[in-house]
Amino acid sequence: MVGATVLIAAPPAVAEAPQRVVSINLCTDQLAMLLAGEGQLVSVSRIALDQRVSAMASEALHYVINAGRAEEVHVMRPDLVVAGVYTSRDTIAMLRRLGIEVVQFDIVKSLDQVRTRILEMGDALEQQEAARVLVARFDADLAALREEKGPLNDAPRAALYYANGYTSGENSLATDILHAAGLRNAPAEAGYDWGKLPLEILALIDPDLVITARRYPGGSRAEEVMDHPVVGALRGRGAALTDQDWVCGTPFVLRAIRDMVDARRSVDATKAEIGG
């Protein structure tokens, strides 16, 4: 009886939208900035300001910046914290102990998961309508981009080659970006998943297009491998760079796909020149 009374007396099961949201992860920062209502998002992480990895660095300037520490987040009195699954466990546990609701978002491994993540963020922020609109636009733009590509079997063979000789293989957002742009991921087809791709193997795979990562300031030996004469010779045929649009599963991956479509076109043009 008591329970029933409470049920009747309580407001409908629809939860109230969180009023003060803090994001402490680069990717949730961007999804939250895209979907949050006026004044709903209070703070984003420091990394959101870094143009090299953040696609929304200038937007991030409008928010309070946090370094992702439990103490400073608590002081902001948020009613919701959005974070990634790999955000420090201790921070998440501390926030939950302090009675703050934390929603964690998994990393994105495919274009399909970009849609999922947008909808999840919409649910978390109670902005389902905005999320649906964003997904619809994403789907339409993606479909338009996909229309332009030819069959994948005779597509140019691309290789992703990042600092320290790392690559991204099957089941990665990067591979989906390549496929959507009409490119094949050659190391993935040779059986190299996420991890180190030996330089010798890269040379033997002999890709049409080498995609390296944009540099950070201050040198490092890790990035020096992208200057190796072998990489240079391969890049001579076709080269492209990954940038901030590749980092997170947000609608900005469409820009990455557009860049790769351009890269594919220039490879096709070079091939046609040599062939003719």
Partner 1 sequence: MSRVTIPLTLAVCVLFMASLLIGPAGLGLRDSLTALWQGGDEPVAMVMRQIRLPRAILAMMIGASLGLAGAAMQGYLRNPLAEPGLIGVSGSAALGAVLAIQTGLAAAFTLGLPLAALAGALGGVVLVMGLAGPRGGALTLILAGIAISALAGALTSLVLNLSPNPFAANEIVFWMMGSLSDRSMVHVWLALPLMAIGWVLLGTLGRGLDALTLGEDAAGAMGISLSRMRRVLVIGTACVVGASTAVAGAIGFVGLVVPHVLRPLVGARPSRLLWASALGGAIMLLAADIAVRLILPSQDLKLGVLTAIVGAPVFLHLIFKTRKDGI
Angle between helices 26-35 and 128-147 (to 10 degrees): 110
H-only helix segments in the chain: 2-9, 26-35, 57-60, 70-75, 89-97, 111-125, 128-147, 173-180, 186-189, 199-205, 221-224, 229-235, 253-275
Query: Going by DSSP bridges, is the β-strand pair 195-196/166-167 parallel, antiparallel, or unpaired?
Result: antiparallel
User: What six digits make up the tokens of 244?
Assistant: 């901030």
Nearer to partner 1, 201 or 261 (CB): 201
> Cα torsion for 129, 130, 132, 138, to the nearest 10°?
170
Nearer to partner 1, 88 or 164 (CB): 164
- Closest distance to partner 1 from the beta carbon of 224 (Å): 8
Terminal C-alpha separation, the chain? 85
- Closest distance to partner 1 from the beta carbon of 54 (Å): 14
Nearer to partner 1, 37 or 195 (CB): 195
Residues interacting with partner 1, by CB under 8 A?
A: 163-165, 195-196, 198-201, 203-206, 216-223, 225, 228-230, 233
Place of tokens 């870094």: 50
Cα distance between residue 231 and residue 210, in whole Å: 8
Nearer to partner 1, 127 or 168 (CB): 168
- Closest distance to partner 1 from the beta carbon of 276 (Å): 21
Nearer to partner 1, 133 or 203 (CB): 203
- Closest distance to partner 1 from the beta carbon of 223 (Å): 6
- Closest distance to partner 1 from the beta carbon of 275 (Å): 17
